[in-house]
Each structure stands twice: as C-alpha cells, then as structure tokens.
Amino acid sequence: MKQIAVIGAGTMGNGIAHTFAQNGFKVNLIDISEASLEKGLSTISKNLDRMIAKEVINETDKAETLSNIATFLSIPEGVKQTDLVIEAATENIDLKLEIFKQLDEACAEETILATNTSSISITQIAAATSRPDKVIGMHFMNPVPIMKLVEVIRGYNTSDTVTETIMTLSADLGKTPVEVNDYPGFVANRILMPMINESIETLYNGVAGVFEIDTVMKLGMAHPMGPLQLADFIGLDVCLSILNVMYDGFKNPKYAPCPLLVNMVCAGKLGVKSGEGFYDYSESKKAETISIQFSK
C-alpha cells in the first residue's frame, strides 16, 4: 500500500496527508477549493518547519515530504489507482454519504475506503457503497502528526482482512492503533464528550468559573488541558454535533447537550477558530484570557 488519497484539506485532512507523506507514501490531497488546498499545503509546510526547529527532521526530509503530496480538485481524478482513500470532510452525514457514493463509483474494486469521522456510524456510511466489507473508520487525533492514537472502527460488515490491514498500516505510521466497534461516539468521544458536557453544565449551574474548572481537571486529574479549553480547541460546534449524534443514537438524556453549549454555538462562539469560546483568542491562540461573558 503506497498510494493514498485524502478527501479534505482542512485541519484533519492536511494533518493526515502530512503524516502519510512524511512516512514515504504518495498522497493525493483532494478538496473542492483551490484556496483550501493552498492553505492546507501552507499548514503542512509550517508544521514541517516547526519539526525542523525542534531538530526532529531536516530540510531534506521536508522537501521529500512535500514532494510526496499532489493536489486535486476532483474526486474521480484524485482517487485513480489508490490503495486507500481517507475521507476527512466536514462532520456532516449527508455530505459523507454523498462522498462515499462517489468514491464507490470512482475507486477500483480493491480500494479500501476509510473515514476520519469522530462519531458518525461506519455501518451507515458503508451502506452507501457496494463494498461495506472494505469500509472502515480511521479516527486520527488532532494534531495528527503528533498524536499517537488512531481509533480503528469496524463497521458491522468490515472484514477481518481490512481491519488487520488498517491496524498494520497505522502502526507503520508510528501510531498506536486501537480497534473498537461501531457504536455512537466509539470510545474516545463516548467518554470525552460527556466529560466536556458536564464541565459546561458545571459552569452553567454556577458551581465554579472557567479557570477554576479547568484548573481542577489539570492539577487534580493530570489532564494536559482543562475540558473547557479542550472544547474550545476541538470547536464547540463539533462538540455539539458529536453530542447530538450520541443523543440520537442512544436516546439517553445523559448525552443531551447543555443549553449553554447550544446557545454558544448559535451565537457563533465556537472556540479557537472563531476567536472566542470559553476563552478569548483575539490576542493569543493560547487559553490565557477568559471570555468576557464568563469573567464577571
């Protein structure tokens, strides 16, 4: 397996492309926007520069990594003669189903189709294709080049052979693959999102402030960042979407999103990407200044 295609040049897509290219794979990075592709390549280049500054790689490594990436604006063109396609588009079920229908038509019969979804059913996505045995989840963590975990999710019909292939491939990337079954939220978000949601409920109910909640979890539970800071980093809209998927899937009220989270998303306060969430990022991308809404 040497030829990979990645659908989507956003945060996760360019991180996945970077990781494969740095490990010697040829990568076709596909997006509908030339501007998105240029931004994705720019991000990869900047991240490689950071690795050079830390003496993890050298300039030759950077040049080789970038030379392994080709860009495409068309799915049919970009997935020709690929061994594996990884979809990393927006977390929207209708969009993903449409993409997988296109992939099923455009890809060779033996091509494995993977999705980087963080919560949507692999089985449902696979049902949009004629090859459900070759559809699997590869849930990378952000930032992809650094984080070691790959959550490998088996759909109801995913074959043992495909699962073993993806587990081995993930290990070849220097990652630690963990095999899980296809239920809403899988493992990572089924555990993480209720914690984030409960942290927002704790703030909503006036138990403690943003700084206090995050400090308790960082110092008391040895978390590298507090849950509210992490929610800002992930994107509050993404957190809400995942909680809604789990709530719809389990019909259990413990997954119902906090009203404060819903209101913040409606107000466009999405975290780092919008410049404000629980923290204010107008002057720094670091979570140093509490949002004025919560600093009173």
Q: For residue range 94-116, what is the model confidence (pLDDT) as tens digits?
A: 999 999 999 999 999 999 999 99
Question: For 24, what's the count of Cα atoms within 13 Å in the CB-facing half-sphere?
Answer: 6
User: Tens digits of per-residue pLDDT, 210-229?
Assistant: 999 999 999 999 999 999 99
Confidence of residue 296 (pLDDT cuts 50, 70, 90): confident
Confidence of residue 60 (pLDDT cuts 50, 70, 90): very high
Residue 153: which H helix or E strand, with range? strand 149-154
pLDDT at position 212 is: 98
SS3 at position 175 = coil
Nearest to 288 by CA among 203, 222, 211, 216: 211
pLDDT at position 1 is: 86
Just list the catalytic residues. 118, 139, 151, 189
Phi, psi of 219, rounded to the nearest 5 degrees = -85, -35
User: Tens digits of per-residue pLDDT, 164-206?
Assistant: 999 999 999 999 999 999 999 999 999 999 999 999 999 999 9
Contact call for residues 261 and 236 (beta carbons, < 8 A): yes
Phi, psi of 210, rounded to the nearest 5 degrees = -60, -50
Structure tokens at 235: 């994107």
DSSP 271: B
Mean predicted confidence (pLDDT) in 116-123: 95
Cβ-based neighbour number of residue 296 at 10 Å? 6
Residue 120: which H helix or E strand, with range? none
